[in-house]
Amino acid sequence: MSSSHKEFIHFSETSFWLLIGSLMSAFMFGNVFMACTFSISCLKFLPTFSYLGCYRDHDRWLNFSLAFYGGVLPLIVVSLSVKLAEYVKKCSLIIMILAGFMGCTTLILIGLIDEVNGLYILPLDRMHPWLTLFLYGCFNLFLYIALTGLENVPLEYSEKEWLGRCNNLYRLANIMFAVTGTEWFLAYSIYSNFFINEVVEALCEWFVVTLAVFFPFALSNVTNTQITVECKPTKQIEYESIK
């Protein structure tokens, strides 16, 4: 007597983005650890991620991380676009998609420019802060439309809780980006003090980047997409004893 059993493989969007966030954190902070161990005396100078992007041997780790993250982020753009297609205006949806993809492209471009700065003497370093501001603007617009649209989506209680957390993280990220921008422009100026200096600058940038790499994980708890793949059934043969 034979019977077949179907096997399924389940993929969770939440687990995927948790893995991506963990990998990005390992890449970024691992690079800082290696720099502090072999290249820089971090007791005297605490490097920012953007500084390591122009530091020989450590720039490639950062640039690889940016290219990797910029390559996978379109998945959250597509996921949210599908989720919100029926709940936001078509114009807003198009703007959200364009902002998301432009942000992903800019993220990769920043890594490429940092790589060029590390190899050649070119005046591309002036573009870095402006590209960073453009990157912030793109993702800020993307998240604003996405979070506003998710308010109109019927959600379960746990998903509504995560949406509230995402809104709080969004506000916190905006505040911390403003603080980090202030540190960028004033940390090495005559206005440097106990609150505005290179150490606070590095810590603020680390905090903002950590928020950024784990934000898709928080969003995925709202969209809560599950993918199930059916495998080929396996046949099992049962033998009956004959007396």
So where are the chain's domains? 7-230
pTM: 0.83
Instruction: Spell out the per-residue pLDDT of the chain, length 243, in tens.
Output: 444 455 545 568 899 999 999 999 999 899 889 888 888 888 888 888 877 766 767 777 878 888 899 999 999 999 999 999 999 999 999 999 999 999 999 998 887 776 655 555 555 556 777 888 999 999 999 999 999 999 999 989 999 999 999 999 999 999 999 998 888 888 888 888 888 888 898 899 999 999 999 999 999 999 776 654 555 554 444 444 443
Query: What DSSP string runs through 24-79?
Result: HHHHHHHHHHHHHHHT--TTT----HHHHTTSTTTHHHHHHHHHHHHHHTHHHHHH
In whole angstroms, what is the distance from residue 93 CA to residue 217 CA?
21
